[in-house]
A and B are shown apart, each in its own frame.
Chain A
Amino acid sequence: MNPTIVRALLYGGFVVLALVAPMIASDFLTQLAFLWVMIVFALTWDILGGQMGYNSFGNIVFFGVGMYACAVIQRDAGLSYYPGLFVGMGVGAALAVAVAALLGSGILGLRGHYFAIGTLGLGIAAGELAGAWSYIGAGSGMVPPLYPGRVGGRETFFYYLCFAVAVAAFPVLRWLYAGRFGLAINAIRDDEDKAEAMGIATTRYKTAAWCISAFFLGLIGAAVGNLIGFIDPRDVAFAGPTFGVWMVLMAILGGKGTLWGPVIGAVIFHVTQELFWTYLLGWQRVALGFLIVLIVVFFPLGIFGWARERWPERFGHRVEEPPAPPQAETGK
């Protein structure tokens, strides 16, 4: 069959399944909503971590910024529920992008491990700051306004909202990776000095990449604050040890630097995690830690990365012509 049709059917089936999921699995709506959140986490982390080779442990900052900004708008802007929420999401995303641009101009100059450690510091600092700032509730956090619809409608609404963000993020990234942007950030990953020597404006690409990441994290952060219904500075908004680490793991599990890898990784990780919670209660953290070790030891390249090493031809890496009569240039 025509690969375009196969792809269209695949995407179509995926979307239909996602749309009807609330009807067939209404008991698990919050968990399903979080599945989309996880997919957004993994996809946005992979822009820097996978495609650009900058392992960020600070992306959680943008998530928290979006969450708080939205809650502040909802509290202070005097708008009714839905306008307040959507304006809040917009402001949250915009503020997250602004923070990314500001932080990026300094910290994106760091390379390798230094960047990872620097960003780790950012996440922790943001949590501490939010926990001490009384305008946003300090240590006692914030409570977004109550959902005005019927009881149980809240979960359905936020399921579709999270789904919308994930479904928006995926084609945008797909489009970006297929153009000059994708090639340039891949070049930065493989050899940043070479990229500079070839006239690629690396700083501009790096900042743009982080801002795109921040945009979607800001949006999803705003939604998650309302979905959970309570914003704790360290455990929900700037939750580095949970969300912040998971986004890294999910991308690695699925395969860094691939489009579908983070999505697959997020689904597997989230389902496994929920199963641990259900069947290994009391030991769920131990089991999760064990899973993390397994991922890092046995799947350092992730599922997609492993498949690519195993069957490179399937991913298009093949020699086009049979080695013609030994030619001085190509022969080895």
Chain B
Amino acid sequence: MNSILEIRGVRKAFGGVVANNNVSLSVSPGKIIGLIGPNGSGKTTLFNSIVGYHPIDEGSIKFDGHEISQLRVVKIARLGLLRTFQQTRIYGKMTCMQNMIVSAPYSDAGWNLIFRRISPADTRKAEDLLKFVGLHGKRLLRAGDLSFGQQKLLEFAMALMHEPKMLLLDEPTAGINPTLIKGLMNRLLRVNRDFGITLLVIEHNMRVIMNLAEYIYCLAHGELLAEGRPEVIQNDRRVIDAYLGAH
């Protein structure tokens, strides 16, 4: 059982609506894993459960050997498990550089630490990562003035600034110009290969996810419908039916 993320029998209901039921999946370190499913199938709910946004009703979530299903968002982020949002979230009135620097993985544990100065090393790292996503020229602009696609890239760079062990990406290509998608995919692959960050990716763009992920889980109606390698998932009758609305 050599997995960085291990989810066993997770259930989450909102009143009478069961958003996740008996979902189990596991992610090995260093892999890129896909999570697909029709709208409303509970993908984002599962992400929220993993990062501690809300408590789960049943089941267990283990990250890097720690049971995290009882931990809060901040603690889980500190362990090195970070997520990006479907509706991109950046700090709109701060400059890109400030967005990056505030994302550095500081410990805020001591009262003295929250007043610390900004180190030149962090400034350099922030600039390098902005170069990596191609936003270096706009680093002094306010993040809210960037286009939606650029904000997504910034959010991605902010997540990298935090040096996570694993990233949960909620629809990284949604709303991005098709010509930019290829560049983004290359970056995701490089992040995985060069920085060794494990990725769990929610994606609706089948071409993207089939090329990116080594293994794919498919949710439907809150339950795990199918899992397997991309070529297996692509030809799975149940998956095709779920997307086309056969049940």
A-side residues, CB < 8 A to B, are 176, 178-181, 183-184, 186-187, 189-191, 193-202, 204-205, 208, 257, 312, 316-321, 323-324, 327-330, 332
Contacts and interface: CB of A to CB of B under 8 A. Distances in A.
A187 B94 contact: yes
A81 to B, nearest CB: 35
A330 B89 contact: no
Given A186-B91, A208-B111, A318 B102 contact: no
Given A201-B74, A202-B74, A330 B98 contact: no
Contacts of B177: 332
A186 B93 contact: yes
Of the candidates A183, A198, A316, A332, the one having the most CB atoms from chain B within 10 angstroms of its own CB is A198
A320 B77 contact: no
Interface of B: 51, 53, 73-74, 77-78, 82-83, 85, 89-95, 98, 101-103, 105-106, 108-109, 111, 114-118, 133-142, 145, 147, 149-150, 153, 158, 162, 177, 179-180, 182-183
A205 B108 contact: yes
Contacts of A186: 91, 93-94, 98, 102
Contacts, number: 132
A318 B77 contact: no
A332 B147 contact: yes
Nearest to A190: B91
B116 A180 contact: yes
A312 B144 CA distance: 13
Nearest to B103: A198
A197 B82 contact: yes
17 contacts: A181-B114, A184-B102, A186-B94, A196-B77, A197-B51, A198-B82, A198-B102, A199-B74, A199-B82, A200-B102, A204-B111, A317-B145, A319-B137, A319-B138, A321-B137, A328-B183, A329-B153
A204 B78 CA distance: 15
A329 B137 contact: no
A197 B77 contact: yes
B146 to A, nearest CB: 9
Nearest to B80: A199
B82 to A, nearest CB: 7
Contact of A317 (B51, B141, B150, B183): B141
A269 B140 CA distance: 32
Nearest to A322: B137
Nearest to A200: B108
Given A186-B102, A205-B114, A208-B111, A197 B83 contact: yes
A199 B92 CA distance: 18
Given A317-B142, A332-B149, 5 more contacts: A178-B118, A180-B115, A186-B98, A186-B102, A190-B90
Given A320-B136, A330-B137, A199 B105 contact: yes
B140 A316 contact: yes
Nearest to B83: A197
A4 to B, nearest CB: 18
Nearest to A183: B102
Contact of B140 (A189, A202, A320, A324): A320
A198 B137 contact: no
A299 to B, nearest CB: 17
B118 A180 contact: yes
Contacts of A320: 136-140
A317 B140 contact: yes
B138 A329 contact: no
Contacts of B145: 317
A186 B101 CA distance: 12
A194 B162 CA distance: 13
Nearest to B117: A179
B118 A179 contact: yes
B137 A194 contact: no
A211 to B, nearest CB: 10
B93 A329 contact: no
Nearest to B89: A194
Given A180-B106, A317-B141, A190 B93 contact: yes
Nearest to A199: B77
Contacts of B140: 316-320
Contacts of B153: 329
B91 to A, nearest CB: 4
Given A319-B141, A330-B134, A194 B111 contact: no
B93 A183 contact: no
B114 A208 contact: yes
B18 to A, nearest CB: 24
Contacts of B90: 190-191, 194
A324 B83 CA distance: 32
